[in-house]
Structures are given as structure tokens and as C-alpha cells.
């Protein structure tokens, strides 16, 4: 976008992001939704799916007894204490449903928006956390896929129509898609899951 300065704000709550978008504080946002949850959008805001389906994975401490496995059954995490980033993207409800189907009720004790603090808590052996499969490695923790993909979500890009034209929205969508594709190789297990599923790959048009 030649001739335009780009300012970036990091905010984990989709509800907060969409409110700021509708108020004109932000021009465009990417945000996630888990399972069937849909984040309400204010008037004057448009959205387009960026990633149709993304499986959640789990981040336990590197010292966890399950850390050596290539994938982890959700049922094997019964009794663990969980930490999450946000509760307005449908993740808590979806996690509760998935855990109940696996035979237990989860214990989501910590809600920590700061990723560094959350990972420090995990590395200290205090909790485990659901994560995106594109998440980078963090010392003292490991990232493992859930067996059978019991938790999935999607990523959308939304924009304020008064601030962003359709042409510029398409440019943002393409840039966000390329950034996501660049992050897929962060974890070998996700690349293995991703490559044979072109139906979930983002459009670069």
C-alpha cells in the first residue's frame, strides 16, 4: 500500500478487535473462531475467510510424560490444568465439548493474554494449553498435535468498509495468506497435516 503508514496493534480478544474495527480505531483485523462459533461483526464491517480449517494442537511442558509422543489423545490430558488466551472466540465452549466427548471436564484455571507469561507458566509445569499449529517453538515446552483433530477453528480477515476499499482488502487478504503460508513449516507435524489438504489452503487471488 504505497503512500500509507501501517501501524500494528496486538490484541488477543476477537470481540475487542471487532468493536475497535467498528469504531474506526482499526482499519482491518485478522481473528480466529473455534468450532461453530461466529464472532458478531458491527455495521459497516466486511469479512472474508482466510483459513477455512485449522486443527488445534497442545503445548505441554517439555518435562511432561506425554511430551515424547508424536501426537496426544485428548483423553490422556484429563486432570491437567489448562491456560487459555481468550474466551470470546468460542474456544472454551469448544474445548469443554471436546473434553466431555473424551470423557472428562477440563479445568481452565488461567486466562493469560500475554503469550510470554503463558509459556513461562507452561514451562514451569503449571499448565498445558491449546495452541495454533503454526505457533513457534518455546524453550521448556513442546508442541504436539491432538490425535483425531478434536478441536478445529478458522481464521477470518475483517475490514472497515469506510476505511478500506475492496481492492485494498484483497491486497491485505493476499498478504495475510502469504504470511500464514510462511508459518506453516514452523512445525513438521503441521506441514504433514497441511500439504495433503489443499481444500483448506487460502486463496492468493
**Average pLDDT of span 165-189:** 95
Per-residue confidence band for 204, with pLDDT thresholds at 50, 70 and 90? confident
Mean pLDDT score across all residues of the chain: 93
**Average pLDDT of span 111-136:** 92
User: Residue 152: exposed, middle, or buried by beta-carbon count in 10 A (0-12, 13-18, 19+)?
Assistant: middle
pTM: 0.91
Per-residue confidence band for 203, with pLDDT thresholds at 50, 70 and 90? confident
User: Which of 48, 39, 130 shows the shortest CA–CA distance to 82?
Assistant: 130
User: Which of 122, 136, 133 shows the shortest CA–CA distance to 60?
Assistant: 122
Find residue 49's DSSP bridge partners: 156
- Give the pLDDT score at 8: 87
- Give the pLDDT score at 200: 96
Amino acid at each position: 500500500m504505497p503512500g500509507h503508514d501501517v501501524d500494528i496493534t496486538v490484541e488477543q480478544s476477537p470481540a475487542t478487535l471487532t468493536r475497535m474495527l467498528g469504531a474506526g480505531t482499526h482499519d482491518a483485523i485478522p481473528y480466529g473462531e473455534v468450532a461453530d462459533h461466529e464472532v458478531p461483526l458491527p455495521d459497516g464491517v466486511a469479512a472474508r475467510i482466510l483459513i477455512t480449517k485449522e486443527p488445534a494442537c497442545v503445548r505441554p511442558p517439555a518435562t511432561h510424560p506425554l511430551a515424547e509422543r508424536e501426537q496426544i489423545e485428548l483423553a490422556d490430558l484429563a486432570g491437567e490444568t489448562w491456560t487459555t488466551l481468550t474466551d470470546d472466540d468460542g474456544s472454551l465452549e469448544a474445548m469443554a465439548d471436546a473434553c466431555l466427548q473424551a470423557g472428562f471436564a477440563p479445568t481452565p484455571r488461567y486466562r493469560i493474554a500475554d503469550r510470554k507469561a503463558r509459556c513461562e507458566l507452561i514451562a514451569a509445569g503449571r499448565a498445558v494449553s491449546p495452541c495454533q499449529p503454526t505457533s513457534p517453538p518455546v524453550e521448556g515446552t513442546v508442541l504436539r498435535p491432538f490425535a483425531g483433530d478434536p478441536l478445529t477453528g478458522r481464521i477470518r480477515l475483517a475490514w472497515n468498509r469506510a476505511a478500506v476499499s475492496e481492492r485494498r482488502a484483497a491486497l491485505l487478504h493476499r498478504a495475510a495468506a502469504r504470511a500464514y503460508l510462511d508459518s506453516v513449516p514452523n512445525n513438521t507435524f503441521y506441514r504433514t497435516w497441511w500439504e495433503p489438504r489443499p481444500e483448506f489452503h487460502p486463496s492468493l487471488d
